Structure 1
Amino acid sequence: MPRGKVVAHRLEEERAVIVTAIRDTDVLPLPPGADDEATAIVRALYTDGITAKKGAFSRELAEGMREDIEAAFEEARSRPGGAVGRGPKRWYVEIHPEQLRAFVEIVDHPWFRKVCESVLGPDYQIVEVGFDIPFAGAVNQPWHRDFPMPETTRREGRLTSLAFNLTAVDTEEDMGPFEIAPGTQWDWSEAFGHEMFPPKPLYPRYQERAVRKYPKMGDISARSALTIHRGTKNESQKSRPVLVIGVDAPGAGNAEHHDLAVTKGYWAQLPQSVRDHLVCPIVDELTPITQKHSIEGLVMGEAE
């Protein structure tokens, strides 16, 4: 699989130094026999760092997803460690697959599978299921990526994980839309806080590239979680729940940061095409997940 040429460039912006890996995008890491759709997917994720499929699912599926998210959030908030703050009035909760009635339909969708196979290879692994909810009063998050850049990505310019997002509502301008800075998945600097948060002198770089996203119910996106992004201020009186599904290439190692599990009965009902990509314990009874994403809360501020 060709990886293309990777060149490190040093950029100086307001006395901060950032190193960004620039790929030769004419030589993409395409899977054998890639068709036009696969090529477009890989190109988008290696250049902009995000791609999407409009109307992949029905609005009914999205409505059911919202009901499941609301139920899971109520349960999570009833116990210590069930939800973690990602800034004022903004929460993240990780759940088990069977808490989401549409889980199989989502991860077995042809576009979902094609994105995973094209970027992460045929043996991709589903390692995370969760959701973010910014409520009324949520503020702009600091620019960030979701975890430190892996050495493989930094050395070789190769993506080893993806995050899929599905909105449970139609996103409007005043609801604090997701904002992303295309092409910044390769940015790296020793000045990044916790290896995730660019220092404020670098903010102009992300602000001038920023693109706001307004997905509708039924849409799905895939992005590199390394691409610098943030949630924006929710000026409405509505919440904006978004499902998150994290997927790894073999050996990426993100599964150790999550506690995904399925019961034996649920596992027995799964199609083989889904079982092949779930690397998690099979248990008699599910244990509610205690959230591990503490760094975001420390940097972004308390949720309440």
Structure 2
Amino acid sequence: MTTLEQKSADTQPQYDVASIMGAIYGDGITGLKGAFSREWIAQLAEDIAGLYPAALARPGGAVGRGTNRHYVEIHPEDIRGFRELVSHPWIHAVCESVLGPEYKFVEIGFDVPNPGAKDQPWHRDFRVGEETLLRRRLDSLAFNITTVDVEEDMGPFEIAPGTQWDDPSSFDHGMFPPASLYPRYEARAQRKYPKMGDVSVRSALTIHRGTANRSQKARPVLVLGVDAPGAGHDEWHDFQLTRAYYETLPQSIRDHLLCRLVDTLEPIVQGHTIEGLMMGDA
């Protein structure tokens, strides 16, 4: 076992389902400190540093998420630690607890708030579906893994706990609440300052925003999207694996991949744009 790999199954800790469910259905966000080693994160940061300029140079390779912000969807094979990422025991425990045993990974990418990035408007990442609106069930999760130690001036992520249940009837495009509701979110707002190795998970419906990056450093963060069966968010993504790479993965990972198998990886043209973020900042 290398220093970048996680503990073997017989030494993996057990995680409390009630605590996980309570956090996601209550605040809409939770996390695990020190889930990965700083060495593993440094390797991830190297991979992202190589992928980012290539995506910016390719038509459709990156999408704007506001001033000096980009999102880039990538292939699992683009990062060396994909296997360790999706087999991490805490990530598995969270997905199984909230989404059920047939959960599927549908997206992997990274978000980069660069120096000069401004406050985003408060938003959700997508519209609320009937499963949540009518049946009060959350059917997707977004994991975030920072590649840097986040400091106050680097534009930390900000979230308004409990707002995944807010009525979207007055929201623009079902995702952007009116300015009249901003005081509610500002009163509840929590800024997050994760360190290298920490992992967070949230409902992408919980109202959130990126804040202004006043530093001279970028704040790259890996994004891993997961669906319950039938959630449908895979339609916005192009989760590709080569057949050769897929065959190297254990069945325990294959069972949770909702992907397209190809002989040769094809460039990804980002399909999940958020127009309200591309049009300007708060």
Q: TM-score, normalised by structure 2?
A: 0.93
SS at 2:141 equivalent: strand
Equivalences for residues 99-178 of structure 1 within 5 A? 99-178=78-157
For 1:106 and 1:95, the matched residues in 2 are separated by 14
The one of 230, 248, 254 aligned to 1:251: 230
Could you say which residue in structure 2 is the equivalent of 1:277?
Answer: 256
CA displacement 1:232-285 (0-9 Å, x = unmatched)? 000000000000000000000001110011001110111111100001111100
Deviation at 1:292, TM superposition (A): 1.8
For 2:274 and 2:29, the matched residues in 1 are separated by 24
Q: Does 1:184 align with 2:163?
A: yes
CA contact (8 A) 1:88 1:301 kept: no
Deviation at 1:189, TM superposition (A): 2.7
CA displacement 1:79-110 (0-9 Å, x = unmatched)? 11100000000000000100011111011010
Q: Report the RMSD for the aligned CA atoms in angstroms.
A: 1.3
The AA in structure 1 aligned to 2:17 is A
**CA spacing shift, 1:36–1:135, aligned 2, 3 Å:** closer
Deviation at 1:70, TM superposition (A): 1.4
The AA in structure 2 aligned to 1:301 is M
For 2:222 and 2:15, the matched residues in 1 are separated by 28
Could you say which residue in structure 2 is the equivalent of 1:80?
Answer: 59
Could you say which residue in structure 1 is the equivalent of 2:218?
Answer: 239
For 2:23 and 2:278, the matched residues in 1 are separated by 29
SS at 1:294 equivalent: coil
Q: Does 1:301 align with 2:261?
A: no
The AA in structure 1 aligned to 2:37 is S
Q: Does 1:212 align with 2:191?
A: yes
Could you say which residue in structure 2 is the equivalent of 1:15?
Answer: none
For 2:116 and 2:15, the matched residues in 1 are separated by 43
For 1:198 and 1:302, the matched residues in 2 are separated by 15
CA displacement 1:155-185 (0-9 Å, x = unmatched)? 0111000000000000000000000000000
Could you say which residue in structure 2 is the equivalent of 1:16?
Answer: none
Could you say which residue in structure 1 is the equivalent of 2:9?
Answer: none
Could you say which residue in structure 2 is the equivalent of 1:221?
Answer: 200
SS at 1:214 equivalent: coil
CA contact (8 A) 2:128 2:168 kept: no
SS at 1:188 equivalent: coil
SS at 2:206 equivalent: coil
SS at 2:274 equivalent: helix
For 2:211 and 2:225, the matched residues in 1 are separated by 22
Unpaired segments ≥5 residues, structure 1: 1-34
CA displacement 1:34-86 (0-9 Å, x = unmatched)? x8711100000000000100001000111111111111111111111100000
Q: Does 1:45 align with 2:24?
A: yes
For 1:279 and 1:194, the matched residues in 2 are separated by 27
Unpaired segments ≥5 residues, structure 2: 1-13
Could you say which residue in structure 1 is the equivalent of 2:4?
Answer: none
Q: Percent identity?
A: 62
Deviation at 1:294, TM superposition (A): 2.8
**CA spacing shift, 1:205–1:300, aligned 2, 3 Å:** farther
For 2:53 and 2:71, the matched residues in 1 are separated by 12
CA contact (8 A) 1:83 1:92 kept: yes
Q: TM-score, normalised by structure 1?
A: 0.86
For 2:211 and 2:166, the matched residues in 1 are separated by 21
The ranges of structure 1 where at least 4 consecutive aligned residues each deviate by more than 4 angstroms after the TM superposition are none
Deviation at 1:190, TM superposition (A): 1.9
**CA spacing shift, 1:284–1:36, aligned 2, 3 Å:** closer
SS at 2:51 equivalent: helix
CA contact (8 A) 1:85 1:302 kept: no
Deviates most, 245-254 or 63-72: 63-72
For 2:30 and 2:187, the matched residues in 1 are separated by 20
